[in-house]
Chains A and B, each alone.
Chain A
Amino acid sequence: MSQQGSSSAPPAAAQTAAPQAPGMAASAQAPAEKPIEIQEEGFWLPRASSTFAADSDAAWSLSLWVSVVFFVVVIFPMGYFAVKYKRKSEDEKTSPIDHHLGLEVFWTAIPTVLLMYMFWVGFKAYANSQVSPNDAYEIKVTGQMYNWTFEYPDGTATTDLGVPKDKNVKLIMSSKDVIHSFFVPEFRLKQDVVPSLYTTMWFNATKEIESAVECAEYCGDGHSRMLAKVIVKPSGPQDKPGTFENWLFNGGFEYPLPPLALGKKRFESMCVSCHSLDGTRVVGPSFKGLFGRKEKLADGSTITVDENYIRNSILNPQSQIVEGYPPSMPVFPTLQARDIDGIITFMKEQK
């Protein structure tokens, strides 16, 4: 099962034992969507794309060199002794020297000092990573089985993490179900997301890139497909394409999607787990032929499924339930007016 962002597996089939949360389908039709990947640089590490990466990579270099040196210090003598003192006869005698205080103190004290230094380097990097600057731009992150949702201060909700370049960004994170972990290898950062708890992470992205977000705490069958993209764009005016502000204004897309395409995207991420397009009843009514139909409500009155009814059903789901259906539609607080317009447009196409 490939991890590329352009899988066309139907979303319903991808759901397993997940709770009521809406599933996210990997997009199947957005043109020129780049696959999710981590850019590698050098032998060991990915490209460094955050200010923190410098601290992390310095710590990495230190530990790598300490490891190489100590490995050589132990293994080369071992190999040399094994060859030089290879047994030639069964009763040859060996050295009785079995201790040397000076040597033993030396090789206890030197490593101790070195290890304390390593602790210090690691701690300093950590301290930098945990104290977020006051001016950080806050984004709310929700992890659930098996997708990530990002909510911006203006209410926009997206499935990719767009962030402004060279600005301090702080993520406020929580989980809806089990423990997940938000990991951006190019930023060198990771933080568990826990239900009923808020955890935070801050960073400053230094390159205009797209890179992978991976879930790094085992969470069940969809753990390895719980990916997202971090999209770093320079800050600029909202009407200028290619800026972060423009991306956000478009609802988390490169360019503003027309209502039909937007509605299809929202349907695929929010409605598909309970509403089908082919006439089968899942939980709620199928969208096929739904728009314009007359329906009888649970309270006996009759309505027409028009724009107002759909808008009301999304914003006040329990108020006008059709007879014979359960009152189980949840509220969708992150859907904006243009999202609802898009869903209405999309539904009109389902004849």
Chain B
Amino acid sequence: MKFDLSEDQALLQSSTRDFLGSELPIDKTRNVMEHHADGYEPAQWRSFAEMGYIGLTLPATAGGQGLGTIELAIVLEEMGRVCAPGPFLDVVLAASLLAAAGKQDALLADVVSGKTLVTIARQDSPFSGNHIEPSRFENGRVRGTKYFVPFAARTDALLVTTPQGIVLVRAPYEVVPLQTIDLGQRFAEVKLDNEGTLIGGPELLEKVDLLAAVGASAMMLGLMSRALEVTLGYVQTRQAFKRPIGGFQALQHRLADMLLKTESTRSAVYRAAWCLDTGDRDTALACATAKAYGGDASRYVCGEAIQMHGGIGFTWELDLHFYFKRAKTLEQFYGSTEVQLEKAFAAAGY
């Protein structure tokens, strides 16, 4: 038994941290998110492919590295630490879905090499509720409207979920951008009346959903780790009443709770990743736990980080709001807390 990363995993962690540190410094990221129409730099996307990140968990036959969910969690945690903008997690999930469906080798190879962008179009309604009319696949055509499709404007194809199964639809389709709080995670409404190819049944999403839960929570872990670090630095230097504010117990105990939530999320995330990799019988419960707990924890930690910075914490100028917003976005997507709670309930057999 061992909780620490293996030598290879630790190497992946440090190389990813170095790479993202030079590739995505927060000033550059801020500039890209504020000024680039896509919220990320497509040119930079190729570098992720070159590093092997996109195909990390895919088999070598699909151009991937054949690594596990733990390795994916390591990379996503680092992406969270720098608040990386762009569709990384979305494309990883789409690639995993394509791989699970099979018979899409050429497209998959292009996705893994960074040439082609594919994401999953999932939401049938902008708000949660039961008035939803799902998109339908009939006679070779998919018709309907999908909401909050990740980075739809840049995609070359979409994997559209329908009651009939998962349908591969190639661009062009009608894309209406949706403006949301997170500038690094762009969404759009997509109106579909397109030809498509059915690539598999809805059950293919089950495994992808588990990966989505772990992946999103790993990214949230990175967000909150960094937000806590930044805040610890701030409270040691910021003076009030002639002393560093980090000397006040009123803040110390809350910082201790921030650490507790961050480290508890770490335990939950890596346990879930390990379960997925080993096919442990607790996998479903562990994945739902990581996402449900991590969602609350990252919003809490990033929120406390803002509070402890005081007025400057509420400014656009400080970077923390990007972390806070990403935390909220990740919490609501990839299986919201409500969805994960139901999954946990079912997994425990209650």
Q: A and B: real partners?
A: no
